[in-house]
Structure 1
């Protein structure tokens, strides 16, 4: 492993991602698990002593559990035989199929009639989605009981994460979202994107 090789050579390694909360923590946690022969929870708790906002999302935590069940072996021949890995693949396939099934066209009667709250393009005023399609997400705040080791959550009101819609052109891994009138609406990233949060506080596990 690159991290282990450099550290054993008295080098330093910077591991980072867009927000430094989930993806980079996942990589460091895997390294610590292999080095210390510990569980995902123990590895993340160790990281949180240095970086309290470290908070891998559920998908990354599940992958770390798979890594642990494979005795910290990342060889695909070993992983492919792991029952946790097989179940994870089945769940991913199910989620992708579900997203495609529930992606609703903007002209669908269901979209217009489901809710009184409609979200329109500010330029052309077309209905884009309603509150059924919003994926609520959280902003992390320090826990009251034991300080920064425990996090409580409240709804974030900075922006909106919505489920994929048929009117969106999502052909690349990441990019911008435009209305049919060419008005820019936001961004998408199939690898996950972290909301900027409110008042300097980072969000939690948001797509």
Structure 2
């Protein structure tokens, strides 16, 4: 396991220790095959993989269930009693920004819950007990205590100061907390999760110099919950709702002088010198965006007049900010209005 620079920097800030001191501490943990820590007020323990070789520690802590969160096989001889009785769960992921760990949260939470209800203790381990296992434990605390991800991480750090989920896992934890009720019902229905997957797909596709595969498109009809909508200036067909707006930071934010301006500010539309509205993919764009082109124009699905453009490699807004990916409607081609449900 390689400790990522961003993780190491975060640990330096959180613990006050130097990078050398932290690395030495991690080496010591590995060499001594110890480092199993109980998370306060729970029946959950966290560690690296080397503690599996210490059957005496597992027995002393009454570990009845184990979650392994790492890529590759786990030595069967070390966990045979757990695998044969269905008390071992293996989540195969790397400690990498491209990994999707949030999709496993419901499975791991249910596994831990069942074990705890049966009076058992659960060990969650990865390679070093720093990022992947910490993410799974954080998701469990979010689920049980209804607390923000950073608060949950701080609780775990009280027992194990070296924990530090990587940046992508932190994003996923935030999405999970902010949409907990909906995520517990069906993660695929969470717009923030779909937006996260979309951005990851775009990043990977850009690296391969090809257009991304889009699995989720926003709605352009459900007015409920939308503060603003964009309509084709020529035929008045609704093209986008505020739920699909993508904000970008301009050099100097405008002063809201009216209630209309405040609404525009809130949804990220009211930018100085901006000539574009940037959006996530919307269902009417599907025929154009699935052509496989890196860039192209967008036409109103009703009157076929040009209303905008897209560029997966990004584009520079007139306000000076580079937006990637860029799906935009030209302000000169659309009108802004409030849906009746928002009046």
Which of the two has greater helix per residue?
2
Q: TM-score, normalised by structure 2?
A: 0.28
Query: Higher relative contact order at CA 8 Å, sep ≥6: structure 1 or structure 2?
Result: 1
Rg comparison, structure with higher value: 2
